[in-house]
Structure 1
Amino acid sequence: MKLIHITDLHLMPPGETLWGLDPLARFDAALADIAAHHADAALCAITGDLTEKGDIAAYALLRERLAGFPIPTRLILGNHDDRANYLKVFGGADETGHVQHVLKHEGRHLLFLDTLKGPPSSAGLYDAPRRAWLEARLAEGGGAPAYLFMHHPPFDIGHPLMDLIKLDDAEAFAALIKGHDIRHIFFGHAHRTISGSWNGIGFSALPSLNHQLPLVGGSVETVYSDEPPMYAAVTLADAMTLVHSDAFMHRNPAQMHADAERGNWF
């Protein structure tokens, strides 16, 4: 199965910029690039912070853009989102009132989780009602390989700022998924390219489409930085999960003749 992962759009109402950057223009560029090069993907997953301030106008822009996008797309919420406003535009709450859903595809279960805690905290929360929902969905999977999509990581990522605002109830979350065949966790929130394993589970995160967090605080003068936005092209297979991150706005020709290095490399 091929899918596309995007995260942290931070869309603003029409015509507004964020930290000197245009989130909508970057999102449009990402969608155009994905449609041009990855139209064969079965799914696009966007893992939260869909908007910067949870404005209905920003959600309406998102809905408008996705209406013309050729790949089916699943959305979840991040700490910058507003659940009530999102539901007014998109609907789709689960029985607990959260934005959670399941996709079964080729014997795999893809689970999309709502970790939005709500203001004033930027941390995540996966409380008892949501844990019960996930436990029931995992049980329904009958042992099928599962892939989790969430905004907040349930573990430290080695970034002093972001580790303060990860998933609050991380230990309960870890206990819930223990013993299940969780193949990979895709998350946002970090505004950086990150990959590794946690308790034997692979994970990956991506830069925002708008602004990033410097790996080392003080390496730039501001809290946020302007580093290349990326999306990921992901392949889910029985024996592996393959994640390619693509800095689509910085894919420029090298200083070389167009016919150079076209020979046989093997």
Structure 2
Amino acid sequence: MLKIVQVTDLHLTPPGVQHIGCDPQKRLKAAIASINAEHSDAELVVFTGDLAALGQAAAYEQLRNCLAELKVPYRLCLGNGDHRTRFRSSFPGVMVDDNGFVQSTAEIGGHHLIFLDTLATDGNHWGELCDARLSWLRARLDEIGKAPILLFLHHPPFAVGIPLLDSLALRAPERLASVLVGKNIRHMFFGHLHRPIAGSWNGIPFSVLRSTVSQFALRLGADPAARSLEAPFYAVALISSDKVVVHFHDYTYDGPVLEYRPVPAVIADDEAIAYTFQQTSAS
């Protein structure tokens, strides 16, 4: 079974600078420590964009320092908080396409992974897949053929019911949809929304998860949007030929973990069995 960890929206800042009430570097280090301790058997960790909060070179230096501690191979995608040129200067070995976009592929465990660059060229916060990027994607899909594909990108191409976030989705989503028609896309992994969300788009299953820093509060239809300090997540995807299972892990939780005794397998006609079980469990 293929195990892939997704981490998103790190919003790293220069040293000593907080981001909406928390220290992004501390949160990322905690995520990496948790991955190393609990999921060092993962094949890959994918960071799906907004690596930096405002694209500063000092933030990418922080990222390099943190990633040096990660025991699992990783790939980096870009989001609207990133600066492509400064990122590439900080990570000169990163794979890019012929036009300099941070796009690449990998084949792991019989699956083809595609990593897209949806950072808008004009610096806006909404997502963009220009002709060049879509042409690259179309060529990769044609090469892959009917093999199963996992797609990673920052900006979702659909609305989720939170007006601000919907205004910052991927522009011209129908263009991406037309490229994906008929392809074996098993799952799409997004960032950007700072919410745990799952569903399907044009029949393709997807998942989104919380940021390692602050979140957007669940206020459907509300404008303006609101931030919250809900716990950060990373995701653990377990992938086999017949299923994709995505777990959301609250890696900063430090409360009790209680032993669990399964309830009786059969709800018996004799209610006394239930009371006996509940009294034993409570003691």
TM range (shorter): over 0.9
1:182 aligns with 2:181: no
Equivalent residue number for residue 10 of structure 2: 9
Equivalent residue number for residue 19 of structure 2: 18
Using the alignment, how far apart are the partners of 2:254 and 2:205 within structure 1?
27
Decide which moves more: 117-126 or 40-49: 117-126
Equivalent residue number for residue 155 of structure 1: 158
| TM-score where L is the length of structure 2 | 0.88
Equivalent residue number for residue 243 of structure 1: 246
Decide which moves more: 91-100 or 47-56: 91-100
What amino acid is aligned across from residue 260 of structure 2 in structure 1?
Answer: E
Q: Sequence identity, in percent? A: 43
Cα distance per residue 1:176-209 (max 9 Å; x no partner):
1111011110000000000011111100001110
| SS state at 2:228 partner | coil
Equivalent residue number for residue 47 of structure 1: 48
Matches within 5 A, 1:115-194: 115-194=118-197
What amino acid is aligned across from residue 108 of structure 2 in structure 1?
Answer: H
What amino acid is aligned across from residue 133 of structure 1 in structure 2?
Answer: W
Using the alignment, how far apart are the partners of 1:263 and 1:192 within structure 2?
31
- Structure 1 residue 96 displacement after superposition: 1.3
| SS state at 2:252 partner | helix
- Structure 1 residue 140 displacement after superposition: 1.1
Gapped runs of 5+ residues in structure 1?
Answer: none
Equivalent residue number for residue 269 of structure 2: none
What amino acid is aligned across from residue 169 of structure 1 in structure 2?
Answer: A
Using the alignment, how far apart are the partners of 1:261 and 1:234 within structure 2?
24
- Structure 1 residue 243 displacement after superposition: 0.2
Cα distance per residue 1:29-84 (max 9 Å; x no partner):
11101111111100000000000011111111111211221000100000010000
Using the alignment, how far apart are the partners of 2:160 and 2:6 within structure 1?
19
Using the alignment, how far apart are the partners of 2:135 and 2:34 within structure 1?
38
Q: Which runs of 4+ in 1 moved over 4 A?
A: 262-266
Decide whether the 8 Å contact of 2:7 with 2:235 is kept in 1. yes
Equivalent residue number for residue 68 of structure 1: 69
Equivalent residue number for residue 229 of structure 1: 232
Decide which moves more: 76-85 or 88-97: 88-97
| TM-score where L is the length of structure 1 | 0.93
Using the alignment, how far apart are the partners of 1:100 and 1:7 within structure 2?
17
Gapped runs of 5+ residues in structure 2?
Answer: 266-283
Using the alignment, how far apart are the partners of 1:217 and 1:108 within structure 2?
35
1:83 aligns with 2:84: yes
Using the alignment, how far apart are the partners of 1:118 and 1:49 within structure 2?
15
Using the alignment, how far apart are the partners of 1:232 and 1:39 within structure 2?
14
1:261 aligns with 2:255: no
Relative to structure 1, the CA distance from residue 5 to residue 173 in structure 2 (aligned partners, 3 Å threshold; closer, same or farther) is: same
Decide whether the 8 Å contact of 2:216 with 2:225 is kept in 1. no
Q: Cα RMSD between the aligned structures?
A: 2.0
Decide whether the 8 Å contact of 1:217 with 1:223 is kept in 2. no
- Structure 1 residue 119 displacement after superposition: 4.6
Using the alignment, how far apart are the partners of 1:115 and 1:205 within structure 2?
15
Decide whether the 8 Å contact of 2:80 with 2:123 is kept in 1. no
Decide whether the 8 Å contact of 1:191 with 1:207 is kept in 2. yes
